[in-house]
Chain A
């Protein structure tokens, strides 16, 4: 590449770690004792302690889903993982109170700066617990709650208990069961009726310790007619051994509410990123997942929307970039359970070098429903000869007044395009980058501006060295 792009956030920026003295450490391995340790430290109510133990039993009894998923999952050694690490369970409200070493981490990632610029609230999670959580006064006065999951559970039990674990049951899959057993951190957000939060709420997730598993749990409830946009970013240093990130994110959009959930996942290439994300959309509500996966060793993530109320809408916009040694196994699930519900899935993936990207989708329209529509488009771009892409959709659309279409295509960058650009003095590498950016451009446009700029730069970086 001719010019080195000026980067705010890139792989190398995230690739550092500090030796931290943890106040709480559950040790390695997962038993009932680990659960008790976490529950004791977090002062969990009894029902949560029981919920965790039940989840542990489910986790232990469920097999690895390798009858359809990558056998790379077998390389996760659950006994070597540290399930809980923190320097204290209460997040700091003022940036000055955050411990110096943690502050350095997040300042390197540019978090307070981002907040000053345009965010309505920020939460930053360092290993197991939120290190910093703040919300702008004006947003707080509207009754918006934006806290860590522990605080949400303690201070707003009536809302928390009503929805927690209701969108994604514990036994949904092996990794949602694992998360339910050892969850810590993540956000709890409640938007009161009619409140439209103007600026995005943002969370940063950071894994600092080696062999650590991060299991955050996020629950967002948008009450009737409210609107919210939530953005999350994630980084981790490159350790020799693998790291596990297994989150559960549940969204509830009540009548007429709108939730947009944006993820830019840039974990380092040793992270197993196995995440369950699902939203429940009531009447006329809209849930949109914008999901961008650039990092990790293996990502398995299929954001879903259950359209429970009439005229509800679900949307998944997904971009995946799989470099050498990476497998981005991503997709979407759309479950139509009411009349006139509509959903849209647009997925674009790019495989570079020996990278592998997989789209896995599920579309279900129940019988006796009317006027439901789904549209799915999956496009894959292959950069090198040994790049790989797979598409595995499953579509069950019943009812003669419903319609659905699925289309997928696979292509490579056209030699003519590259030739055309080279004729005009653009180097081959820069031309490839331009072509890739063009391929995802219509999706990137849907991101908030700061994110789309960051994304374009990440793509440029990934493309470096892929030609020739």
Chain B
């Protein structure tokens, strides 16, 4: 058994030597940085017990490669598909990609497109609390997905990425790096899945870069086993007139720490940050967000929906930051908690820091139960209470899914959601 703190003995690395050196430095940083404490504002309310990672070990190569490839199904029509399992490439289909689009593992990108890789790989500082886990990620990242869409290229059909974990206490380090050139368009669906019901560690990073006028729709369908501890650290950089839409669906995991930073660096840029989180049992979703308005006349819109059952917990800590130069900012932030049980524990900290007076800015947080009137209406029509409740939860989340413009994509997500909530 190899623990995370040790370098795998004989595993040959596919990374170039210069990157291996950076990985050694990152491991030293991981060891040096302290485990977070609740006194630090970015870990307020957090469950620190989940941060004991001592049981997790390096993942072996996947045993059921064929089964995982067959189970990697999503949309009917896609432009390309990349399937990774336990930090290694399992399968790649890039037949329908327009010319110039690059979709490959990070390791090959580091070798074949070194300049691009160096420019964009983990180029953003980790600001929302998880520097230690970002260092761990960098130290151990392998496989991963690198997508580059050149300027003025429109990838019409969505691209799908599947990142699997297999084995007891296996640790994976999924990474999705998307670089959108000027005026390019692309849609990516990123699935995070477990091959079994076993405990695992996922420590992932997603970096999205949008050049001027680009349009990116990024959907993350996180469906780890209900025993998984996961960190998902996302950053999105949006330049002039570009539009980023990111929707994160957290269907699985025992403990999920999500950090999403969106930085609006170009005038007239737009960032939409959405999340849907059905939680039950003792599952816990801890999400921290930052809408950082650097450039003037940019828009950001955040909507996070949580439905909490049983003894589940959620933490939402969001911040809208309007920098002194960001006149004409439109920024919105809202978290809604639908409470399905007396033992559920939702915590909301929607924050604002406004350093310019030319802004339209609002935030809100609501907590409330399922409406008794709606339940009564359905029960009066012969729908059992339990199903009626699930239908209401489904409607609650669908109000957000409806915002997606792409019809097949929207329907696909509606189906995934209905399956997740066992509505048939």
Contact = CB atoms under 8 A, between A and B. Distances in A.
A410 B368 CA distance: 25
Contacts of B364: 405-408
Contacts of A406: 348, 350, 363-366
A408 B364 CA distance: 6
B356 A67 contact: no
B39 A396 contact: no
B358 interface: yes
B81 to A, nearest CB: 42
Interface in A391-415: 391-412
Nearest to A356: B355
Contacts of B359: 382, 410-412
Contacts of A402: 339, 367, 369
B349 interface: yes
B361 A383 contact: no
A392 B320 CA distance: 11
Given A67-B41, A405-B365, 16 more contacts: A67-B40, A68-B41, A385-B327, A387-B357, A388-B353, A389-B353, A393-B348, A393-B351, A394-B347, A394-B348, A396-B45, A397-B337, A400-B340, A400-B369, A405-B366, A408-B350
Contact of A386 (B44, B341, B355, B366): B355
B342 interface: yes
A398 B344 contact: yes
| Pairs of residues from A and B, 10 with the lowest C-beta to C-beta distance, nearest first | A382-B357, A391-B352, A397-B367, A410-B361, A395-B348, A409-B362, A406-B365, A400-B369, A403-B368, A400-B339
Interface in B223-243: none
A17 interface: no
B352 to A, nearest CB: 4
A382 B353 CA distance: 12
Nearest to B348: A395
Nearest to A364: B347
13 contacts: A367-B343, A380-B354, A391-B352, A398-B345, A400-B370, A403-B367, A404-B366, A405-B364, A405-B367, A408-B350, A409-B362, A410-B361, A411-B361
B346 interface: yes
A385 B347 contact: no
Contacts of A391: 350-352, 363
Contacts of A32: none
A399 B354 contact: no
B113 interface: no
A396 B344 contact: no
Nearest to B370: A400
Determine the main DSSP class of A at the interface with B.
strand
Given A395-B365, A400-B344, A405-B364, A410 B354 contact: yes
Contacts of A398: 339, 342-346
Nearest to B368: A403
Contacts of A380: 352, 354
B412 interface: no
A408 B368 CA distance: 18
Contacts of B350: 391, 393, 406, 408
A127 B94 CA distance: 79
Contacts of A404: 365-368
A411 B347 CA distance: 27
B365 A67 contact: no
Contacts, number: 126
Nearest to A376: B365
B324 interface: yes
Contacts of A393: 348-351, 365
B118 interface: no
Contacts of A368: 342
Given A393-B365, A407-B364, A400 B341 contact: yes
A400 B353 CA distance: 31
A409 B357 contact: no
Contacts of B356: 382, 385
A260 interface: no
A331 B197 CA distance: 46
Contacts of A67: 39-41
Nearest to A411: B360
Contacts of A403: 366-369
Interface of B: 39-41, 44-45, 324, 327, 337, 339-370
B355 A395 contact: no
A182 to B, nearest CB: 27
A410 B354 CA distance: 8
A389 B359 CA distance: 11
Interface residues of A, number: 36
A367 B342 contact: yes
A390 interface: yes
B72 to A, nearest CB: 38
Contacts of A411: 359-361
B361 to A, nearest CB: 4
B349 A399 contact: no
A278 B1 CA distance: 55
A407 B360 CA distance: 14
B288 to A, nearest CB: 13
A384 interface: yes
A429 to B, nearest CB: 17
B15 to A, nearest CB: 37
Contacts of B45: 394, 396
A392 B369 CA distance: 24
Interface in A228-262: none
A393 to B, nearest CB: 6
Contacts of A409: 361-362
Nearest to B369: A400
A200 B352 CA distance: 37
Contacts of B348: 393-396, 406
Nearest to B319: A392
A382 B370 CA distance: 37
A384 B357 CA distance: 6
A384 B344 CA distance: 43
B281 to A, nearest CB: 16
A200 to B, nearest CB: 35
Contacts of A405: 364-368
B357 A383 contact: yes
Interface in A410-440: 410-412
Contacts of A394: 44-45, 347-349
B352 A390 contact: yes
Nearest to B317: A394
A368 B344 CA distance: 10
B358 A385 contact: yes
Contacts of A387: 357
B308 to A, nearest CB: 9
Contact of A390 (B337, B353, B369, B370): B353
Nearest to A413: B357
A207 B337 CA distance: 47
A399 B342 contact: yes
Contact of B363 (A383, A384, A385, A408): A408
A119 B207 CA distance: 64
B355 A388 contact: yes
Contacts of B41: 67-68
Contacts of B353: 388-390
A401 B343 CA distance: 11
Contacts of B370: 400
Given A397-B367, A400-B342, A403-B367, A382 B354 contact: yes
B78 to A, nearest CB: 41
Contacts of A399: 339, 342
A389 B352 contact: yes
B367 A395 contact: yes
Contact of B362 (A383, A386, A407): A407
A395 B347 CA distance: 5
Counting chain B CB atoms within 10 Å of each CB, the highest count among A386, A408, A412 belongs to A408
Contacts of B327: 385
B47 to A, nearest CB: 14
Counting chain A CB atoms within 10 Å of each CB, the highest count among B327, B343, B367, B370 belongs to B367
